[in-house]
Structure 1
Amino acid sequence: MIGRLRGTLAEKQPPHLILDVNGLGYELEVPMTTLYRLPPVGETVTLHTHLVVREDAQLLYGFYEKRERELFRELIRLNGVGPKLALALMSGLDVDELVRCVQAQDTSALVKIPGVGKKTAERLLVELKDRFKAWQTTPSMFELVPSGPQGPAPVNSAEADAVSALISLGYKPQEASRAVAAIDAKGLSSEELIRRSLKGMI
């Protein structure tokens, strides 16, 4: 099992990235909440990882904090929740927001996430309730992430990356395009566009 990687961020194409570890490039998929906190390409980062081995592929998932990886592991243990849905849940809601939803048994935010209907949301909340009793919450990560521009990026490229990332999370192309188009994208990075789009959709 690959539990942690430290290396240079070589490529960032939401929600995928490549981490160069001593010349070996590891391709990882990350939730948007991790993506927002990554340094610029070319800088060093440490990610906690989870390896999923299937008959046709070996998939590596990366997380900025151990709590994110713990949440991912809790989610994929649930019946009917695979890595893709787990990442969608974690991209729409950070760890503490999801914990608060579970503790309050509030389905309203969950049903806005692609792939989660009312019955699925209710089942997830029931199954997670006991697991989350001991989880402590901290201020929302979205409140900790700067809301302003995070470095220059070509607007067209940033918008395209943001739309592509939303589609990969399960949103319909029209929904993704509409959400990104509703934001004043001038000077914003793709990460900030994704963050604002998701907040507007959830």
Structure 2
Amino acid sequence: MYGFIKGVAEEVEGAAVYVNAGGVGYELHVSTQTLGRVKMGEKVKLYTRLWVREDALILYGFYDKVERDMYDRLITVSGVGPRVALAILSGMTADAVAMAVLADDVAAFSKVPGIGKKIAQRLILELRGKLEKADFSIGSFSPAQAPAGSAAQEALAALVALGYTASEAAQAVGAAASESTVEDIVRLALRQLDQR
């Protein structure tokens, strides 16, 4: 129904932003990621999704199409409704969600309040095929694409053994995968992880 709403961000109430567009104040429920990027009193363009219930029409807002597209994928998972999807996007960026799915990182999802191990596993299982073709900036490395026993796979395993989550390790290995030895990849990946 609404693709986006463009106007002035006038108020914040809880997790909702009120946008004045043409004299109409739209209440948009947003993630903390989006909320952190919206500046009160300034123009904003939020991409939207409308959720229709028997007793309400709820408008969800997203700072960019990447976050909205991830929201669209999240709500296709059984047991994940709009509020849970928004909670996930409040705890993780869309790119982090994609990386966690591709890296089978149950722990990354379990850090989000309200997401238990079963839902985390379901998210990974149901989203894996939908995200491999998606355009998220998760780097060139996907653990599933690296050959078994390769330097990248061994470096990933080493970083996970050091206590990093699979998604953190995969992102760092992706940035350092141009190196040829396990030691070089791990050294560069650790430098990148220390800078965060």
Provide the TM-score with structure 1 as the length reference.
0.66
What's the secondary structure of 1:100's corresponding residue?
Answer: helix
Separation (CA, whole Å) in 2 of partners of 1:101 and 1:139 = 10
Q: Which residue of 2 aligns with 1:45?
A: 44
Separation (CA, whole Å) in 1 of partners of 2:68 and 2:138 = 18
Separation (CA, whole Å) in 2 of partners of 1:23 and 1:136 = 35
> Given residue 21 of structure 1, which amino acid in structure 2 is its aligned partner?
A
Is the contact made by 2:62 and 2:68 (CA closer than 8 Å) also made in structure 1?
yes
Per-residue Cα deviation, 1:137-169 (whole angstroms, up to 9, x for no partner) = 4379xxxxxxxxxxxxxxxxxxxxxxxxxxxxx
Map 1:106-145; keep pairs closer than 5 Å: 106-138=105-137
Separation (CA, whole Å) in 2 of partners of 1:54 and 1:63 = 20
Q: Which residue of 1 aligns with 2:89?
A: 90
Is the contact made by 1:10 and 1:17 (CA closer than 8 Å) also made in structure 2?
yes
User: Unaligned 5+ residue runs, structure 2?
Assistant: 140-196
Q: Which residue of 2 aligns with 1:26?
A: 26
Provide the TM-score with structure 2 as the length reference.
0.68
Bigger radius of gyration, 1 or 2? 2
User: Unaligned 5+ residue runs, structure 1?
Assistant: 141-202
Is the contact made by 2:99 and 2:138 (CA closer than 8 Å) also made in structure 1?
no
Map 1:1-202; keep pairs closer than 5 Å: 1-39=1-39, 41-138=40-137
Per-residue Cα deviation, 1:80-130 (whole angstroms, up to 9, x for no partner) = 111110001001000111100000011111112122111111111010000
Total equivalences in the alignment? 139
How many percent of aligned residue pairs carry the same amino acid? 42
Separation (CA, whole Å) in 2 of partners of 1:139 and 1:18 = 32
Question: What CA RMSD, in Å, does the superposition of the two structures yield over aligned residues?
Answer: 1.5
- 1:52 positional shift: 0.6
Q: Which residue of 2 aligns with 1:174?
A: none
